[in-house]
Amino acid sequence: MELLKGLSARGRRLLLGVLVTALGLLGTACGGDAGPQDFLTPEGPIAERADGLWDITFAIAVVIFVIVEGVLVFAIVKFRRKPGREAAQFHGNTKVEVILTLVPTLILAGLAVPTVKAIADLSEKQEGSLEIKVVAKQFWWEYTYTDEDVVTANEMHVPTGQPVFLTLEGTDVIHSFWVPKLTGTQDAVPGRVNTMQFEADKPGTYWGQCKEYCGLSHANMRLRVIVHEPAEFEQWLEDQKQPAAASVSGAAAEGQEIFMQTCVNCHAIEGTDAKGTSGPNLTHFASRETFAGAMFENNAANLRRWIDNPANVKPGALMPDYGLSAQEIDAVVAYLETLE
């Protein structure tokens, strides 16, 4: 083949080998699990609407791709120089050019109609929505259930089958709320209130993360949406409305004391004197699966490492290192674990 002229036979074999290996890898990987943030496998009507548009667009793109690349390769092979071939001297072909301008225009006009319709539909607020205010901060999320007097962080609980309407606010820099299997992204911009909505079909835990670059721990600003059956969700709401247990004993009591001296500056626990608002509300901290922007699994070992030096395990974390001793840290952890 003239395309490879200049390469030795060995060189050509080498190139071919690498190419085949690459294609083989591609094949095996396509069969694998697509992962918890794959948005081509949506789990709710809003995400499905977007996915439906993608399916149409992708199908058209594949057809165009195959035709145009096919014609290109055909031209490369067919019109390669060989003895006796003379290049035909022509400058264009008006008819072909007009057709090749009109066809893409019509295809795009065809795509534009469902796109604009979907934009309009998705921007309309649905009846009977559950309303949640999302405040994005470096590098975690605060959720306020506006009708319920419940405040929580990072893990958003919602019921199946009910539309969820979010108002997004930013406090420091721009962040972006995103739960791929349930909804596309919307920015939380300081000084503005943006809105978005989603709905989940099935119970389960859905993964998401901040999508607008927001500083050192942008990669660690993750989130979960935990979807319950409606009755289970009501129960969760009721539990969240309870204040934290006031009296604790043993190491936990010691931990509470330390907490009320240092951590109160930023954290709130309903039913106690802790009323700080710059950090996450910890009233039912022990009921959460993760902490620190859904970065760590909520267990004693992770909590110890975190409290010991937050910025060390999460770059740029705003929670200070109070220089607590190992024993004091254990006590605080013991207290946090009582906050069911």
Partner 1 sequence: MATAALQPRRSIFARPTATTGWYSWVTTVDHKKIGIMYGVTAFVFFLLGGLEALAIRAQLATPNGEILSAEAYNQFFTMHGITMIFLVIMPMGVAFFNYLVPLMIGARDVAFPRLNALSYWIFLFGGIFIYSSFFLGGAPDGGWFGYAPLSRTLETRGMDFYAVGLQLLGVASLAGAINFIVTILNMRAPGMTFMRMPVFVWMTLVVSFLLLFAMPVIAVALFQLMFDRLFDTTFFNVAAGGDPLLWQHLFWLFGHPEVYILILPAMGIVSEVLPTFSRKPLFGYAAVVFAGAAIGFMGWGVWAHHMFAAGLGPVANSAFALSTMFIAVPTGVKIFNWIGTLWGGSLRFTTSMLFSLGFVAMFIIGGLSGVTHAIVPHDAQQTDTYYVVAHFHYVLFGGALFGIMSGLYYWWPKFFGHRLSEKIGKWNFWLWFLGFNLTFGPMHIVGLQGMPRRIYTYPDGMGWNLWNMMETVGAFIIAVATLFFLFNVVVSRRKGREEAGDDPWDARTLEWMIPSPPPEYNFAEIPVVSHRDDFWHKKYFVGPGKTAEPVFAGGADHDEHGTDEHHIHMPSPSYFPLIAAFGMLITAYAVIFALPAVAIGLLVTTLGFFGWVFEPGTAE
Please say which residue, 209 or 283, places its beta carbon nearer to partner 1.
209
Torsion region of 34: left, alpha or beta (phi above 0 gives left; psi -120 to 50 gives alpha):
alpha
Q: For partner 1, which stretch binds (CB under 8 A), given 144-152, 183-191, 250-258, 279-287? A: 183-191
Q: Which residues of 302-327 are buried (b: 16+ CB within 10 A; e: fewer)?
A: bbeebbbebeebbeebbbeebeeeee
For residue 89, the minimal CB distance to partner 1 (Å) is: 5
Single out the residue of 76, 72, 68 nearest to residue 103, CA to CA. 68
**Closest CB to partner 1 among residues 11, 243:** 11
Q: What are phi and psi of 322, to 5 degrees?
A: -85, 5
* Identified binder of partner 1 from the candidate list 10, 191, 249, 326, rule CB under 8 A: 191
Which parts of 37-76 interact with partner 1 (CB under 8 A)?
37-40, 47, 49-51, 53-54, 57-58, 61, 64-65, 68-69, 71-72, 75-76
User: In angstroms, rounded to a whole number, what is the distance separating the alpha carbons of residues 144 and 93?
Assistant: 64
Nearer to partner 1, 286 or 311 (CB): 311
- When binding is defined by CB under 8 A, the residue of 10, 31, 88, 323 that contacts partner 1 is 88
Q: Among 17, 24, 104, 250, indicate the residue that binds partner 1 (CB under 8 A).
A: 104
Q: Sign of the C-alpha dihedral, residues 124, 130, 135, 138?
A: negative
| Burial of 137: CB neighbours in 10 Å, binned 0-12, 13-18, 19+ | buried
The residues pairing with 130 across neighbouring beta strands, listed in sequence order, are: 164
User: 139 to 158, contacts with partner 1 by CB under 8 A?
Assistant: none
Tell the smallest beta-carbon distance from residue 284 to partner 1 (Å): 25
Q: Please answer whether residues 225 and 144 qualify as being in contact, where contact means their C-beta atoms are separated by less than 8 angstroms.
A: no
Cα–Cα distance list, 16 to 13, 27, 66, 314, 334 (Å) = 5, 16, 22, 44, 61
Residue list 120-139, contact with partner 1 (CB under 8 A)? 120, 122-123
Task: Please state the closest distance from residue 62 (CB atom) to partner 1, in A.
Answer: 9
Q: Which is nearer to partner 1, 105 or 278 (CB)?
A: 105
Query: Least CB distance from residue 156 to partner 1, whole Å?
Result: 17
Q: Which is nearer to partner 1, 60 or 324 (by Cβ)?
A: 60
- Interaction between residue 118 and partner 1 (CB under 8 A): yes
**Residue 135 host element (H or E):** strand 130-137
Nearer to partner 1, 64 or 300 (CB): 64
Chain positions 287 to 326 lying near partner 1, rule: CB under 8 A, are 315-316
Among 144, 152, 197, 209, binds partner 1 (CB under 8 A): 209
| 210 vs 263, beta carbon nearer partner 1 | 210
Distance from first CA to last CA of the chain, Å, rounded? 71
Minimum Å gap between C-beta 339 and partner 1 is 26
How far apart, in whole angstroms, are the C-alpha atoms of residue 27 and residue 23? 6
Out of 13, 17, 20, 116, point to the residue binding partner 1 (CB under 8 A): 116
